[in-house]
Structure 1
Amino acid sequence: MTGSEQETETLLPELETAPVRHASFAPPSGERTGGREAALLLRDALRLSLRRGAGPFRGAGRINFEPRAYQLAPLMMALRLETVRLLIADDVGIGKTIEAGLILREYLDRGEIDRFTVLCPPHLVDQWVAELETKFAIPPTPVTAATATRLERDLPASTSVFDAYPHTVVSLDFIKSRRRQDDFLRACPEMVVVDEAHTAVAGGAIRHHRFELLRRIAENTERNLILLTATPHSGNEEAFHNLLGLLDPVFAALPHARDDRHRQLRERLAGHFIQRRRADIEAWREPGLFPTRHMLNPDPKYRLTGDYERFYEAVLDYCAEAVEAEEGERRQRLAFWGTLALMRCVGSSPAAAARALRTRALLEADPDEEEMLAAGIVDDEEAANDDLEPGAAIADGRLAALIAKADELAARPVKDPKFAVLKKVLQGMVEDGFSPVVFCRYIATADSVGAALRHAFKDHMVEVVTGALPPEEREARVEALGEAGKRILVATDCLSEGINLQAAFDAVVHYDLSWNPTRHQQREGRVDRFGQKRPEVRTALIYGENNPVDGAVLEVILRKASAIEKQTGVRVPMPDEGGSLTKALMSAVLLRARQKRQLALDLGVGGLAEAKEIESAWANASEQEKKARTIFAQSSLKPEEVAAEWDAIQRVLGGFPDTERFVSRALMRLGAPLDRQPAGGYRAPLHLVPDTLKERFQAAGLIDETATQHPLRIAFEARPRAGYLSIHRAHPLPAILAETFLENALDPLAPANDPATLPRCGGWESAAVDRVTALLLLRIRHRIDSRGRLGPRFAMAEEAAAIAFDLLSGKPARQGEEAFGLLAGQSADLKENVQKARLQQVLAKLEGWRTELDRYAGERAAALAEDHTRLRRALGSKGGVKVEAVTPVDVIGAYVLMPRL
């Protein structure tokens, strides 16, 4: 009845006892009548229940937010391609997930694809599932090492998970084995999205397995492939061109192409590659979408003194002598990685140092294990979720004394000079009304800092989230903390990707420096991103002024990254495949520090040969990236050409204001009025609605099974304040209300005393008319025929419409938005006998107006066909679309409007 996906039925005509015939709703009978308010509710219920809008963007009716014009650009590029092969490399926080979701939703609704898979790192699986469910009305199946066994248990032996579930989000770790790869490739869907694609193309055994999988996926030239990454060029030319080769093998030849051939390939690549920074988005006439980032300057610093300085020196001596004591190049190399990790732990906190000293170093590792060890130490993307303290203990008589000293210092974290600086920084932030996130490198550090902050900020709720918690517990803690008035979150880098924090937090403190500048961008990108309501976000970076490791990282890596970005206008990851450059730099820094016994930043690390090598490699990579920037920012695209079409569809289907008006009036009618909050948003007491609706809200997870008296906190805006749900037209709340009101109105057996049963007829005096006018509320259905990649396709679409007739002459007076506008005029009640008499005249003429209604439906079909064709032309497509109105038109409501005397 409502066009809901859950109400789809399949009929086999040859098995039916009676022939299948056209069905339509009975016209309004006039048994139930009402006034303008009831008519407005029915109009809004009809519009907001539509899911298969008839406009040229087929997926617009299923999206639970209002995308920005710039986010339509990748969709425009996809629609221009016969087979989608896209690399979306927009900056952190711009919305790559949204851009990919728009493509998936549109291609599903166009019938271009039936199935898809998202491949992503394991810690992003839950985020993808949530985004697709809540924003795009696509309930995917997560396929991970934890869920696969349960999914397979319920299937026949010959059926794969990938056969059984059309929409999946798959962990790259789960699928990396050859057996899993073969199973996936056999049942691989028509479209594959790969998130964090750069982690699959660089060197190393682990990434080799992933790249092999992507290469085999891309071999099928008819398969749609969307690659997502904020760092397509990690400084490794081979890895970058491997990535481009997945789009089309010809692009892998770019490094060797010259002159015209190189220019031709770059121009061709521009149809498949989009990469935009914040400044590019501003140029797309989208100012003010992102907050201003203010970083504390100068960077807050602390100084090691007393016991802390002596402990650092003792560990430095231990590390150097432990490496020298190992025999053989391989064991010495592994010992150095272990001791370097220990120096990071000591710089992080005594608690992290104590754990590292208690854990045996890995001195017999195979190449894969060594690769992961190095990745964790230099903060490679491969180790984004690894926040465990590494093993550093090598047989040495001083271990017991070092552990005892570490335990002693860890027992009094508030005395730590590093924590004292953190406390001062946070005091300034919270006094200015900010809600900060403190990022630590290791679990022990986060736990220690969290405990100390609870003591120092007793009027704040302080929560600690680390990789020691399962993903669902991390999300639960963050969500609960977001509801606190004053809050501080302490986290490791397990939250630097995967969980967006902009709804509840607006400041970031780097308690531990990352050795990878991209990790800093990712941390800050959790709050500094699309959706942040605060106009300014604040960041701070804490370092040790007499810690040589911090000095090298700050001077050679972090500040150099910032300088290169300011100089070239592009952000390029440090080109350090396998961590060899970082290892060489730290080896030189620690050697000099021990020799000089002068733990200060005047070591001049920038002048070291190893530092100059990093700078040279970085400058070369940045220059390459700068050359690519202009063409791949897609400034030649004109999103305004399609934004107008998108906006027109949104106006027809209903946006935030329409949703707010409907939900507010509907809940008022149901005896559960919204409670407006002084700071913005509403509290919705859904537990007060009738039981039939309560059950539907429970099924959608909007209230719990006990229907306890906890109002739902909602807001009708894209970026609500912390703790409030954004309610757009496709959210379950308005969707359930709209479907319920429409179903009850169309059901002749619905109880008349149910407040959710709207009358389909009514009448009132109106200042908008000067003659007696009949206003008909219509649902017009259309058949849309097109040709997609899967062959000829037809789809059913629907739209809400209105037409007004002069009751005396019986001729059309207004139609479309002009007719809908009659509902907005000032009104007054009619006397009951006058209303009924005039309504009988209207209902008596309905059948005679059928020809005119069919004519109007035909006009709407022709206009829609023109809309489809115009969009296709804007996208460079020559394919046509045929739109045919399905008659007879459904008359949903009939009303009589009398001139006001």
Structure 2
Amino acid sequence: MPLLMAMRLSTVRLLIADDVGVGKTIEAGLIARELMDRGEIRRLAVLCPPHLVEQWQNELENRFNLQTVALTSASAPRIERDLPHGVGLFDYHPVVVVSLDYVKSERHRAHFLTIAPECVIVDEAHTCASSGQGRQLRFQLLQQLSQNPERHLMLLTATPHSGDETAFYNLLSLLDPRFQELQGHTTANDSLRLELARHFVQRRRKDIAEWQAETGDGRGFPRRMKAEITYPLSGDWGAFFDAVQNYCRELAEDIEAREAGHARLVWYATLALLRCVASSPAAAVKALTTRLDNTLSDNEWLTDERLYDGEADDLDSNDLEPPAQMVHAGHLQTLIGEAERLSGQADDPKLAVLILHLRELLKEGFHPVVFCRYIATAHYVTEHLKKVFPKAVIDAVTGEYTPEERRERVEALSEGDSRILVATDCLSEGINLQHLFTAVIHYDLAWNPTRHEQREGRVDRFGQQAPEVRCTMLYGQDNPVDGFVLNVILRKGEAIEKELGVLVPMPEDEARIKQALVKAALMKRSNTHTAQLGFDFGESEQILAPLQARWQDALQKAKANRTVFAQRRIRPDEVLPEWQKEQQALGTQADVQRFVHSACSRLNAPLEKARTEQFRLLPQHLPEALRLRLADEGINEALTIDFNTLHRSHPLVTVLADYLLETSLADGSPIAARCAATITDAVDVVTTLYLLRLRHQISYVRRREPFQMMAEETITLAARGRNQPEWLSDVSVNALLECTPTGNMPSEGEQRELRTALDFLRAHPQQLEALAQNRAVTLLEDHRRVREAARDVGQYSVSACLPVDVIGVYVLLPDAL
């Protein structure tokens, strides 16, 4: 749908707000690729948060064959230094992924505005529209970019409306400044709202699944199976938790009595310590041994990202453990020693229940990702899991590593048939995990429901091959912090998501949330270890009542927006026939796999089996000319191939196809068989197949500018019989190219049959020209149907390019037996 919407606009201005995992990156890439293939743009820039730069670079290169460079604070000096003298950045590198943190500064922003390309994609666009110094600079940059009325601009976000009306309409104003006037208007028939519906699309996973069911495309999203697992704070571990709570109470009373000015610091320390204790003994030790810096202001402590889980419009968070040590006391040293003693499966009930659950998942063939809040917890969990599951490949990925190192550590896990990834939230945004993992475990509850959705969305997203994804939430059944977060925050978010179909982010209110959490954190645990519902969070819920009201209000506004901005005029089914033809022409995954296997074998570089469903290509064994072309595409080392994700437009497939086609047309090519004669039971009369390459010139006018494109296709023309031949060119003819020989022919007979076939073709030149003209007419009809469905504007025509290229001739003789 976004592609159809883009084709309706002379200048593409779109806000694509589809749900997490639906495929916003692919949707934007399709639009950019279409504009490039049409010749309407030559240059493209993607603006995104730093942690998404590498992902965008990989997606553009692997899915759309667009060679891309990354422009970040670290790489920019080198890239600009290596430019030839007098050559601009976008002239030399037409496709660039730019870190927002790099480009938002005054110096870099001014420079970027002078060289910005004619098409810009902005990912996580909601981070550019809210208040705050860094975000305000980003918004100013986008405002200046949007002032060029001919610049194509695509804004991507899964959370366009987090309850902040001003931020939402700031985003809309980037599409058209007039849309700012819509704030506060609710009339669905307002002409300006109808205009906005041409620029704004927001689809839920449910919407995609329903459309796939209607069209018979069964490749929808996997079933997301959710479960909850609890553990009691029993034995020594329960006693330790109670001792920490008592320490926090005593510390608060002492500090408040002596130093009233440090009361906020005590509350911070309380939350930091209890959250780390709930996470793991390792995190507890880190918090207890890291001294608080009492020189920071109250506001700095309130917004410390080491304690919280990011805001609705910016989920970046620090996975280092927050400090919690305020005094050096003997009692504190006792707590530290107890935390160290309790480390391990025997004394840690949380780790024990995780191990039991992992045993079940691995036995059923799932590959889990265990999300932890802190680095110390991730390493602690990994260390103990390696002891329990020695046959599984297990590793931890945390914020200690660079994005490149994170990707390498994740990919290294592909070597194991049984694998477990332990990660902090540095992987909950930006890294796609669906190709390797099929389950998510929330080892630590997030204090922000959007974070849970982002974690699960790394695995349960477009491209996941498994029919089912398991998502498990693990919490302490008598831990008051877990209980408050679960029942007052996460359950509310879950209820809203069920009602609307997508998650509405929790409104920001750090002060109220902190105050309510502190009240809950210091609640006494019941001696009977009752379940979470046994806690009375009445006082904490009362503190959060205004926030809950704003959250409900955000839900109602989101529902109203879905009604007002619903896409009623675009019907994807109108172009479904063309989409199905395109899929058929491009081939299935099986076709791609067969082609790559066969091509590599013929080129003396057969694929090596790497592991289940994966193979390895060693480029050094390929012909030199092909190696150089692959190196230009970034493929110069051993490449691991997963045919579940390898597609027709991947650089490897494209370069292989181009190379084989070019070499097959050269005289004496030993690689591709351009002619053959064979005996087969697939035909009952002599049938000659002519493999043809047809080219068509598409001319059109858009925005008063003429454009031309070349469309190319291969088609098989069959002549059934020779005296009164029946000419066939439908899809069924392609199957004859794969027929199985049932007999051998002498060389002289094969040569005679091929000469006859060539003479026969020369005697019927009108067949090739008529076929080319008919295909041009068909292409024009398909082209017109797609453009009319998209309400596209402009004039267009299609003409055949003659003569037709004959790529191959194959004679099939019926088996007399």
TM-score when normalising by structure 2: 0.89
What's the counterpart of residue 449 of structure 2? 517
Paired residue type of 1:122: P
| Paired residue secondary structure (2:212) | coil
Q: How far does the alpha carbon of each residue in 1:782-811 deviate from its partner, in whole angstroms, 9 at most, with x for none?
A: 222112358211122222133345785697
Does the CA contact (< 8 Å) of 1:123 and 1:498 recur in 2?
Answer: yes
Give, in whole Å, the separation in 1 of the partners of 2:499 and 2:265.
37
| Matched AA of 1:204 | G
2:695 aligned residue: 781
SS in 1 for 2:102: coil
Cα 1:444–1:243 change in 2 (3 A) is same
Range with bigger deviation, 696-705 or 104-113? 696-705
Distance 2:40 2:257 in 1: 63
C-alpha distance in 2 between matches for 1:254 and 1:474: 43
Q: How does 1:41-56 map to 2 (within 5 A)?
A: none
Matched, 1:477 2:409: yes
Greater mean deviation of Cα atoms: 528-537 or 812-821: 812-821
User: Which whole-Å deviations, capped at 9, do the CAs of 1:302-346 have from their partners, x for residues lacking one?
Assistant: 455223321232134435655776566xx7656654653344223
> CA separation in 2, counterparts of 1:167 and 1:703?
18
The amino acid of 2:281's aligned partner reads: P
Per-residue deviation, 1:189: 1.2
Superposition deviation, residue 845 in structure 1: 5.5
- 2:310 is matched with which residue? 379
Name the structure 2 match of 1:67.
none
The answer to whether structure 1 residue 883 and structure 2 residue 810 are counterparts is: no
Matched with 2:280 is 349
Alignment partner, residue 289 of structure 1: 220
| Contact 1:681–1:713, Cα closer than 8 Å, also in 2 | no
Match runs of 1:211-610 below 5 Å: 211-257=139-185, 259=187, 263-286=190-213, 289-297=220-228, 299-303=230-234, 305-318=238-251, 321-322=254-255, 336-337=267-268, 339-365=270-296, 373=304, 377-380=308-311, 382=314, 384-394=316-326, 396-398=327-329, 401-402=331-332, 405-410=335-340, 412-414=342-344, 415-577=347-509, 579-590=510-521, 602-607=534-539, 608-610=541-543
Match of 2:559 in 1: 626
Is 1:115 aligned with 2:43? yes
Alignment of 1:651-670 (within 5 A): 651-667=584-600, 669=602
Distance, in Å, in 1 between the alignment partners of 2:253 and 2:779 is 75
Cα distance in 2, alignment partners of residues 681 and 384 from structure 1: 34
**Greater CA deviation, 844-853 or 639-648?**
844-853
1:236 to 1:474, Cα distance in 2 relative to 1, 3 A: same
Say whether residues 1:174 and 2:102 are aligned partners.
Answer: yes
Between the aligned partners of 1:202 and 1:661, the Cα distance in structure 2 is 50
CA distance in 2, matches of 1:484, 1:600: 38
- 322 and 538 in structure 1: CA distance in 2 versus 1, 3 angstrom threshold: farther
Q: Indicate the structure whose relative CO is greater, using CA pairs within 8 Å and at least 6 residues apart.
A: 1
Equivalent in the alignment of 1:745: 664
Partner of 2:769: 854
More divergent stretch after superposition (686-695 vs 626-635): 686-695
Deviation at 1:401, TM superposition (A): 4.6
- Cα distance in 2 for residues equivalent to 1:153 and 1:611: 54
Provide the residue aligned with 2:728 in structure 1: 814
Distance change (3 Å), C-alpha of 1:360 and 1:311: closer
Aligned to 2:27: 99
Question: 1:9-48 residue pairs with structure 2 within 5 A?
Answer: none
Q: Note the 1:793-808 alignment, pairs <5 A.
A: 793-805=707-719
The answer for the alignment partner of 1:866 in structure 2 is 781
- Cα distance in structure 2, aligned partners of 1:459 and 1:817: 49
Residue correspondences, number: 802
TM-score by length of 1: 0.81
| Amino acid paired to 1:519 | R
Q: Distance in 2 between matches of 1:637 and 1:319?
A: 61
- Matched to 1:892, the amino acid is I
Q: For 1:113, what is the secondary structure of its paired residue?
A: coil
**Cα distance change of structure 1 residues 763 and 75 upon mapping to structure 2, 3 Å threshold:** same
| Kept after mapping to 2: 8 A contact 1:311/1:402 | no
Quick check: 1:769–1:897 contact (8 Å CA) kept in 2? yes
Q: 2:627 and 2:119 mapped to 1: Cα distance?
A: 36
Equivalents in 2 of 1:569, 1:673: separation in Å?
Answer: 47
C-alpha distance in 2 between matches for 1:118 and 1:572: 26
Mapping of residues 724-763 of structure 1, within 5 Å? 726-748=645-667, 750=669, 754=670, 756=671, 758-763=672-677
**Higher mean Cα deviation, 279-288 or 238-247?**
279-288
Equivalent position SS for 2:513: helix
Summarize the Cα distance change of 1:651–1:621 in structure 2 as closer, same or farther, 3 Å threshold. same
Q: Is the 8 A contact 1:569 1:626 kept in 2?
A: no
Q: Report the 3-state secondary structure (helix = DSSP H, G, I; strand = E; otherwise coil) of the residue aligned with 2:240.
A: helix
In the alignment, does 2:573 pair up with 1:640? yes
In 1, distance between residues paired with 2:371 and 2:9?
A: 42
Task: Specify the alignment match of 2:807 in structure 1.
Answer: 892
Alpha-carbon displacement from aligned partner over 1:212-231 (angstroms, at most 9, x marks no partner): 22222222232211111111
What SS class does the counterpart of residue 128 from structure 1 fall into?
A: helix
**Structure 1 residue aligned with 2:12, among 57, 81, 84?**
84
Q: Secondary structure at the match of 1:505?
A: coil
1:143 aligns with 2:94: no
Matches within 5 A, 1:189-228: 189-228=117-156
3-state DSSP of counterpart to 2:47: strand
Sort the Cα spacing of 1:447 and 1:675 in 2 relative to 1 into closer, same or farther, 3 A.
Answer: closer
**Residues in 1 aligned to 2:736 and 2:357: alpha-carbon distance in whole angstroms:** 59
| Alignment CA distance shift 1:213-1:332 (3 Å) | farther
Decide whether aligned partners of structure 1 residues 701 and 376 sit closer, same or farther in structure 2, where only a CA change above 3 A counts.
farther
* C-alpha separation in 2, matches of 1:185 and 1:370: 36
- Cα distance, 1:375 vs structure 2: 8.2
Please tell me the root mean square deviation across aligned C-alpha atoms, in Å. Answer: 3.5
Q: Is the 8 A contact 2:685 2:813 kept in 1?
A: yes
Shift of the 567–864 alpha-carbon distance from structure 1 to 2, 3 Å rule, reads closer
Name the CA shift for 1:692/1:637 in 2 (closer, same or farther; >3 Å): same
Give 1:777 deviation, angstroms.
2.2
Sort the Cα spacing of 1:100 and 1:320 in 2 relative to 1 into closer, same or farther, 3 A: farther
Provide, for residues 601-624 of structure 1, a one-character-per-residue CA deviation record: whole Å limited to 9, x for no partner: 555224542122222111111111
Q: Distance in 2 between matches of 1:191 and 1:324?
A: 61
User: Closer, same or farther in 2 for the Cα pair 1:818/1:288, shift >3 Å?
Assistant: closer
> 1:738: Cα distance to partner?
3.0
Mark the CA change 1:693 to 1:877 in structure 2 (over 3 Å): closer, same or farther: closer
Deviation at residue 406 of structure 1 after TM alignment: 2.4
Q: Quote how far apart the aligned CAs of 1:132 are.
A: 1.0
Change (3 A) 1:884 1:372: farther
Structure 1 residue 667, shift from structure 2 partner: 4.8
C-alpha separation in 2, matches of 1:208 and 1:483: 44
Q: Quote how far apart the aligned CAs of 1:122 are.
A: 0.6
1:375–1:382 CA contact under 8 A, matched in 2: no
